[in-house]
């Protein structure tokens, strides 16, 4: 039950708990079909006892199987997806029946947008970036041009499910996350893989390495400690990249994994360093819950965003960027213009402009374990200096590297361009980026982070060209079509997150790449897109 007058949200639930292993969709759906009548009856009786007549939506959520109500009931809200198909169908049927019996409108909520909106609602933030970290999902959302945009996401599995794969391997019962958190308290650091690709990330490599370490006799406490340091370090890093790209200074956390204290500490530390605001809801609003569905349902109902029964089908792959946002104002995150003299702080480094020179310093990150932080700053400084020069020799416009100090994680570059591509988006410049990436891929170089912030554009073309690629710190050598396609995906995701009308720009980019690049890479790009958790 959500009461907009008193701003109180009451949650009544009877969640499914598997006897062993992970969640079994059929068993969960069977449990929900039995639990829903009890929960609805309980919450309606409670609403009658506590309400003095203020209306609010009932919610039936696909995980908690709960229903919330105040008297009289204004609407019934339910989660249309994403989620497990059998569970969504049970809840959708129950919500339609309840709305019909009460003769009130039906509100269909996107589950992942609800995670964001409960944080935005409780924090009072205007337009935060949201990090959703749950069992089946992990992604970053920002608001732009009337929709929530996916700024970055896992390319294989959700963060909670990834951790559960390791805990099942060592014989621990579901859920694994709290057990890892407890064991980590007695652990020490060991090196594991760390995979960030722009604002996307991958957990498969680190989980395989963790299993191998266990099989080789490494102490499970040390593995758990290092899993947290690496996995949550990746999530915090991409959250900071999203703040830097969008220019917002507000971050909210969503999802059940957000209950982990170490993740919350990292995000708090990162935001404090940036001067940004951070909000994490109470744990009951982080794990899957009916309250967040009710809160968003109330906002959608107030905006007149309701469903006809025939249009209320569930969608297990319901992406948050498919939802027209009808219930909030126009305040949004906008890509910053990075130009002028003085110092600019990005996600990873400060950049100081001094005439025709640019000094980039990779800053220590207090949220990361010192050994991991030193390793990443060293590796990325070396990679950026080397690949920037190699790309230039391959005919790709990049700044000259004038000095490198690996010990201080500092590089001095030639200053290029007049503004970031994010501030000057046009099809010709975007097509140039496609051609530049094709040239890199021909010589086996992956940029690693080709976003609209990492392309500089000159007002007039020079002998080198008009557009310049910068920031090769996540780059590496490979001839693999998968890695090349990932480069394209990262760039297109940054276009979709910052452009008012991305389609012409995406077409220009792919046309530019096709002119000089491998058609197999473009074909693989479609497969990379389909692996996103909501596609």
CA 365 to chain CA centroid, Å, is 20
Q: 30: closest CA among 70, 84, 90?
A: 90
Cβ atoms within 10 A of the Cβ of 413, count?
22
| CA dist., res. 422 & res. 438, Å (int) | 20
Q: CA torsion, points 476, 478, 482, 488, in degrees to nearest 10?
A: 50
CA distance 339 to 315: 43
Q: Which helix (H) or strand (E) holds 450?
A: none
How far from chain centre, in Å, is Cα 529?
A: 15
Extract the runs of DSSP E, i.e. beta strands, from 125-249: 129-133, 138-144, 147-153, 196-197, 200-201
Helical residues (DSSP H) of 248-335, grouped into ranges: 261-274, 283-286, 290-302
What is the distance between the alpha carbons of residues 385 and 371, in angstroms, rounded to a whole number? Answer: 22
Which of 373, 449, 471, 487 is catalytic? The answer is 449
Number of neighbouring beta carbons within 10 Å of residue 321: 17
Kind and range of the H or E run holding 114 = helix 111-123
Alpha carbon 469 to its chain's center = 24
Which stretch of DSSP H or E encloses residue 408?
A: none
- Cβ neighbors of 66 (< 8 A, separation 6 or more) are 11, 12, 13, 14, 39, 43, 59, 60, 289, 290
Helix (H) or strand (E) holding 376: helix 370-393
| Catalytic residue flag (residue 471) | no
Residue 131's CB is within 10 A of a number of other CB atoms, namely 30
DSSP 8-state assignment for residue 347: S
Q: Is 336 exposed, middle or buried (0-12, 13-18, 19+ CB in 10 A)?
A: middle
Cβ neighbours of 283 (radius 10 Å): 11
Q: Which residues are catalytic?
A: 449
């Amino acid at each position: 039950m959500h009461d907009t007058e008193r701003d109180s949200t009451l949650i009544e639930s009877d969640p499914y708990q598997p006897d062993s292993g992970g969640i079994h969709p059929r068993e969960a759906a069977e449990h929900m079909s039995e639990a829903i009548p009890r929960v609805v009856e309980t919450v309606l009786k409670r609403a009658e006892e506590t309400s003095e007549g203020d209306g609010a939506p009932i919610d039936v959520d696909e995980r908690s199987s709960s229903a919330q109500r105040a008297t009289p009931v204004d609407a019934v809200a339910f989660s249309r997806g994403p989620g497990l198909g059998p569970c969504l169908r049970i809840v959708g049927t129950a919500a339609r029946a309840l709305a019909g019996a009460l003769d009130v409108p039906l509100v269909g909520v996107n589950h992942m947008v609800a995670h964001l909106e409960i944080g935005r609602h409780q924090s009072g933030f205007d337009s935060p970036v949201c990090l959703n970290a749950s069992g089946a999902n992990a992604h970053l959302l920002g608001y732009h041009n009337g929709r929530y945009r996916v700024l970055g996401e896992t390319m294989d599995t959700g963060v909670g499910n990834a951790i559960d794969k390791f805990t099942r391997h060592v014989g621990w019962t579901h859920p694994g996350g709290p057990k890892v958190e407890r064991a980590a308290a007695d652990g020490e650091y060991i090196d594991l893989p760390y995979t960030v690709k722009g604002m996307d990330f991958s957990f498969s490599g680190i989980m395989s390495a963790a299993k191998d370490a266990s099989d080789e006799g490494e102490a499970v406490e040390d593995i758990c400690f290092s899993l947290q340091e690496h996995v949550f370090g990746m999530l915090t890093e991409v959250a900071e990249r999203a703040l830097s790209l969008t220019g917002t200074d507000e971050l909210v956390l969503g999802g059940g994994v957000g209950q982990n204290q170490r993740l919350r500490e990292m995000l708090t530390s990162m935001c404090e360093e940036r001067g940004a605001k951070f909000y994490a809801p109470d744990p009951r609003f982080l794990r899957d819950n009916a309250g967040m569905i009710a809160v968003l349902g109330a906002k959608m109902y107030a905006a007149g965003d309701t469903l006809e029964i025939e249009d209320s089908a569930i969608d297990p792959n319901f992406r948050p960027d498919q939802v027209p946002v009808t219930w909030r104002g126009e305040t949004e995150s906008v890509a910053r213009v990075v130009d002028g003299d003085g110092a600019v702080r990005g996600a990873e480094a400060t950049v100081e402009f001094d005439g025709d020179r640019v000094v980039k310093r990779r800053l220590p990150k207090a949220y990361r374990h010192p050994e991991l932080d030193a390793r990443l700053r060293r590796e990325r400084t070396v990679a950026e200096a080397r690949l920037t020069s190699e790309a230039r020799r391959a005919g790709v416009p990049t700044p000259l590297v004038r000095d490198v100090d690996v010990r201080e994680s500092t590089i001095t570059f030639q200053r290029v361009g007049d503004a970031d591509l994010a501030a000057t988006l046009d099809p010709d410049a975007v097509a140039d980026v496609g051609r530049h990436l094709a040239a890199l891929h021909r010589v086996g170089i992956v940029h690693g982070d080709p976003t609209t912030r990492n392309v500089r554009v000159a007002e007039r073309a020079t002998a080198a060209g008009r557009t310049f690629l910068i920031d090769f710190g996540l780059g590496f050598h490979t001839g693999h079509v998968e890695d090349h396609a990932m480069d394209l995906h990262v760039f297109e995701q940054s276009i979709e997150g910052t452009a008012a009308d991305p389609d012409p720009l995406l077409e220009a980019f792919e046309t530019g790449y096709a002119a000089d690049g491998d058609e197999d890479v473009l074909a693989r790009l479609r497969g990379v897109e389909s692996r996103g958790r909501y596609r």
